[in-house]
Chain A
Amino acid sequence: MIKLTNYLTHSYGKPDSWKLSAYEAAGGYRGVRKALGMSRDQVIDEMKKAHIRGRGGAGFDCGTKWSFMPKEVKKPHYLVVNADEGEPGTFKDRSIMELNPHSLVEGCIIGAYAIGAHAAYIYVRDELHLSKERLWAAIHEARAKGYLGKTPFGKDFEMQVYVHTGAGAYICGEETALLNSLEGRRGEPRLKPPFPAQYGAFGNPSTVNNVETIAIAPSVFEMGGDEFSKLSALHGLNDGGARIFGVSGHVKKPGLYEAAVGLTLRDLIYDLGGGILNDRPLLAVIPGGSSCPVHLADEVVSVPNDPRFEPYNGKSLLDLPLGVDTFRGAGSMLGTCCATVMSDATDPVLALHNVMRFYRHESCGQCTPCREGCGWIERILNKIVEGKGSIAELDQISEIASDITGNTICAFGDGAAQPALTFVRKFRKQLEDYVHTGGKSQTGRLTP
């Protein structure tokens, strides 16, 4: 069921959509006025009612996360926005920062108010120069209008927003690595606990949220949490509202589409995405960034003994609504909701090789299983792609990947192991073909 919305994307494609005048003309900065009229607890409750699941990949409920912050402000609190977008296949946050930066600034004020913070840092990856420029411009405009500063909207609640830059490290998208990087250290993840809500940025209580999670907050307060949550077909599963879906790879119309939660992969690929390039059959799809398991076109949902899955059992995975719990329950992961589509022209062995090269390059090197394991997997795949691998080495890939899972400080290790495990399981035949014949019967390319 496709229900397109335009809470964040209404300004996309319009001239000067990143300016304050355009944002206000479209009804901007109304949500924050309502939020600042409430108490801190009321704001958190409203957010809980909206059932916004974190848009950065982990899918944690935003209102609940905010409620973890200490009620009494003894030390400075910080709101940190994670704009270190770099998950292969994910490209939604950049569009918000470039085309609708004021929604993020407005969301920062609401979020900071809810957690008792007076400063928000937006951690933008260094490559996104236009995003940084537009965000700074938006912050300066908001400051000049008095929306940021000593008394935003007449409320005695000092508020500042700053843009902080990384320097090219995917791992800084992990919240504790991001905090280390914000503090001016190497971006290596920290052990949890203590969680950021107790010991975050600069040793003070902090909340780290994704760009989209924060940017949608103003719409929640304008509509009301309940109303917003009910947009979603998965409202009953506490997965509410609308979000930005992306589709890339072998589709005719790759891009971003904002829609109510409840969209299926089939809707995303064949309807919004316009179908597969050259009308070829679908080989596989990765639902939300390369850290998610890969799925074949003919996979079916099978979750017996769970009443929530009754309507979907036996149906194609492509017809399962894209929700955090639906995908987790089906043994997958929703991630960032930006699907990567591969037609049957794709050589899955080369795709795996490409993905594992990424993880080897981006492993921060702190934990041995991940640092060495990602390198081993890539070297084995180098050999296999050259036709020099053996079946024993092929089996080693799964072994190494299983040894990484759960044995590292952060979730990067699991994210790196996931594609290795699922590709090897689902494309065993193709990998063996590479071992035996050097991949003669494979396409040998990734392009359509």
Chain B
Amino acid sequence: MAFSGTFTFTGTFTFTGAGMSLDTPLCGSLRFAPQARPPGKFSRKFMQPELGSSRRDPSPETLMAFALNAEQELKLEDILSRYPNKMAACIPALHLCQEANENWVSEDIIAFVAKRLELSTAHVQGVVTFYTLFNQKKPGKHQVWVCHTLSCALRGAEDLVKHCEKRLGVHVGETTKDGRITLRTAECLAACGTAPVMQVDKRYHENLTTQEVDRILDRLIAG
């Protein structure tokens, strides 16, 4: 028997969502309130809770549009000249902007890089959230990474981390109250032969002892 029935659809579709304007320049205003989740089995709260958080709080700084100065613009031009397309300059450009913005990537930087490289902000945001070394919150003036992977751990890195925590009065991932030093742990800094190792801003310090760490931290604290 041939199928001869008919379907009539009598419902109506109406979109009754709250009026979200689509021309919002940044995703910031579309953000949902972060849900507090108890730390437990399903929490993916990683090693550096403060800096690694994927949601950024709006801060007064983000209201100011970001721009590079003339010298930094030249550097960006130089970076762009190295690659066959603009997208490839994404990571070096973000590094350049991060350095120009007290070592963190604001929403303005994401918008700036996206515009300059003709990318979507979603793409740039995806890149920023993927890589550990793009800070999504402002870190301290100096960043201290203590390597705590196997070779360094075999040479006493865990004790050094504890020592630094005690000396600075912060936990790993936190910044000192005066905003000078952010303490973090690093996964293998590729200096296993001279373990234990820590990186202070752009410099490696190798074959560390607690005395040596104290000397380094003292210098940082004193400025």
Contact = CB atoms under 8 A, between A and B. Distances in A.
A254 B153 CA distance: 14
Contacts of B92: 164-165
B190 A248 contact: no
Contact of A90 (B41, B46, B192): B192
A290 B199 CA distance: 21
A169 interface: yes
Given A129-B203, A164-B92, A358 B154 contact: no
Given A76-B84, A86-B190, A164-B92, A248 B151 contact: yes
B220 interface: no
Contacts of B100: none
Given A130-B204, A248-B193, A447-B155, A89 B150 contact: yes
A121 to B, nearest CB: 8
A186 B130 contact: yes
B153 A187 contact: no
Given A88-B151, A187-B130, A338-B192, A446 B95 contact: no
B188 A166 contact: no
A418 interface: no
Contacts of A166: 91, 131
Contact of B91 (A184, A246, A358): A184
B153 A354 contact: yes
Contacts of A188: 130
B133 A168 contact: yes
Interface string B116-132: 01010001001100111
Contacts of A41: none
A182 B192 contact: no
A414 interface: no
A372 to B, nearest CB: 10
Interface residues on A, range: 35 or more
Nearest to B134: A167
A169 B132 contact: yes
A333 interface: no
A85 interface: yes
Interface string B59-97: 000000000000000000000001111011111101100
A248 B192 contact: yes
Interface residues of B, number: 51
Interface in B195-213: 195, 199, 202-204
A137 interface: no
B156 interface: yes
Contact of A340 (B46, B145, B151): B151
A246 to B, nearest CB: 6
Contacts of B153: 350-351, 354, 446
Q: Interface centre among A85, A86, A188, A249, by most B CB within 10 Å?
A: A249
A174 interface: no
Interface in B131-163: 131-134, 145, 148-151, 153-156, 158-159
A249 B94 contact: no
Given A91-B192, A184-B89, A354 B127 contact: no
A127 interface: yes
B146 to A, nearest CB: 13
Given A89-B151, A167-B134, A248-B151, A202 B85 contact: yes
A167 B47 contact: no
Q: Which 7 A-B pairs have the closest CB atoms?
A: A184-B90, A167-B131, A168-B133, A168-B132, A248-B192, A184-B87, A129-B202
Given A182-B88, A186-B126, 18 more contacts: A88-B150, A88-B151, A89-B150, A94-B191, A126-B133, A127-B133, A127-B199, A164-B92, A248-B154, A255-B193, A286-B150, A338-B192, A340-B151, A354-B148, A354-B149, A358-B150, A375-B44, A447-B154
14 contacts: A89-B151, A93-B190, A94-B190, A129-B203, A168-B132, A169-B130, A183-B85, A183-B87, A185-B123, A202-B84, A246-B193, A248-B195, A249-B154, A361-B47
